[in-house]
Amino acid sequence: MTDLETKPTGVAGWLLAFLVVQAALCLWTLSTITDALNGFESLTEMSFNGGALYRPLVLLESFSHVVQALAPLGGFYLVARKSRWAPRYWMTFLLFMAAFFILDLAGGYVLAAESSGSAGAPTLNNDPSGSVILTLINTLSMVAWAIGWAIYWGRSVRVRNTFLLQT
């Protein structure tokens, strides 16, 4: 038996779990994309009062929804073909999403500060509903999820054996 035959290969284990969850997220995003784009239309009408950064952040948000819905389809295709480009594709996609989540959090903070007219955005002290901490926790968990899976795609023995060592 060769070394490759004794190590995990194929779409199973954590790799399969990732693909199933990603397919579910893709379907969910596709089902809600019309809401996001409809929200984009109403938000751009309101953007004249939102400050200089409002319109670019809304455009970035809409672009991200489209990427989040459609980009995984290319990844699924590469996985089905067992292409050596699949790990790079998924890592790039996941790191893009992590960067977007961080930028979205920072943009929301800036917009909240602009719309409140104060020197700072809402803080825990002036947010009795707790929405600031909830948004922070949700966003940071999405960043951790994306970075964690990007690391998996880069370091997994199964991924390496399935996609990178194929002849």
Confidence of residue 1 (pLDDT cuts 50, 70, 90): very low
Rounded (10°) CA dihedral 60, 65, 67, 73: 180
> Letter for the amino acid at 26?
C
d(CA 79, CA 163): 8
Mean pLDDT of 45-73: 74
> Letter for the amino acid at 127?
D
pTM for this model (two decimals): 0.78
Rounded (10°) CA dihedral 142, 147, 152, 153: 110
pLDDT exceeds cutoff 90 at 22: yes
Highest mean pLDDT among 27-41, 83-97, 102-116: 83-97
Per-residue pLDDT tens for 119-132? Answer: 555 555 566 566 77
pLDDT exceeds cutoff 60 at 141: yes
d(CA 83, CA 89): 10
Say which residue, 139 or 117, is predicted with more confidence: 139
Per-residue pLDDT tens for 62-98? Answer: 788 888 889 999 999 999 999 999 999 999 999 999 9
Domain ranges of the chain: 10-164
